Amino acid sequence: MKGKSFIVVALLFSTFFFFLESYASAYTVQTGTVITNTSLNVRENPSNDAPVIGQLQSGAKIEYVDVGYDWVRITYNGKAGYLNSLFIKENRPTSQATSHQATSHQATSHQATSHQATSHQATAVSGVNVGKVTAKNGLIVRTQASTDSAMLGKIDYGSKVEYRISTGGWGQITYNGQRAFIDTSYLSGSTSNENISGATSNENKSVDQQAAVTETISRVVIDPGHGGRDPGARGNGLIEKNITLLFAKQIKKSLQENGIEVYLTRSSDEYVYLQERANIADSFQADLFLSIHANGHENSLIRGMEIHSFAPNNIALKLENQFRDLPNAVYRGHYESNFYVLRNTSTPSLLIELGYVSNQADAALLQSQQFQIQVGEAVRRALQS
């Protein structure tokens, strides 16, 4: 009987791991570069508590699969290894039709048209609808009719889009020469006999256009990073998921007291999927999505606050000026980063790293109620300046 039980358990485990491998293989393999001050640990499992099986030096080029929860999977010495995605910079193509200035988030000319949904000369086709984008911060274009699929770009508010009805409220379009999908609930005034006026990807916006999007901040979604089964970084008795929630609530208080409407993606110790966090920002029609995190590193001497954005925006610059003036804190800089919650929302977005729980000085600050208030006020001043 014991022998039969062992065989059943073995078969179940085999099936489970086969599923995991199949699931992982469905993700897109990406290339990236390790960006750390020292070296980056390769771990046996996607957890900061997992055994270290090796290290990669800063500048190392890698191929990886994004498995979520801020972890990527690589092949290391012939077997699976995991890296913290906070220290991976995605390598983006630089030699396509438009030199991909849009993808590298540099300002582009208004004449760039390769990222338009269709040509200005395109006319309506029988059986095809035309709608107007109602999402204030742009409509996300995806590879499949699912919010879990990859984002190809965004179409500006007010643009007319030609589409065919798909399933589940999705519409099929041609975007940058390929089939793509949009959520038709963000379209209005559908007709079947209009010309398209050249919907442009949000990634093609110049720096001035990005700044204009966040000119007035009246509604903000604050995202306390991690939560529930995902604790985040640990160090000096601190757990990141707890720290981010404390700061998120304080920032919310500071903003609400000054007339800004605020929504938290979580208000307790619960797990929220990354895509759900991004969706909340879009559903709330926020002027800004602010994700709150704390850092950790094997080198306990590293400390300081950071700001991350997927594309340039003026709020990052204002917040940077505020962070530099915070007493006892160290400001490390502003980085353009490819974090999931930043790239998968149409809402202007920032991610704040409050400090390193692995550093004693930062850990003391993170536990200080005075510092929490100071950060809340710094964010308020940046949004209202």
Active site residues: 353
Distance between CA atoms of residues 349 and 230, nearest Å: 22
Q: Three-state SS for 271?
A: coil
- Name the residue among 184, 382, 198 with its Cα closest to residue 288: 382
φ, ψ (nearest 5 deg) of residue 353: -100, 115
DSSP string for residues in 84-118:
EGGGEEEPPP-SSTTTTTTTTT----TT--TTBSS
135, 185 contact by CB (below 8 A): no
For the chain, the first-to-last Cα distance in angstroms comes to 73
- C-alpha separations of 287 from 106, 133, 135, 190, 347 in Å: 22, 17, 11, 26, 7
129, 165 contact by CB (below 8 A): yes
Q: Three-state SS for 373?
A: helix
- C-alpha separations of 233 from 38, 119, 226, 302, 353 in Å: 18, 47, 9, 14, 11
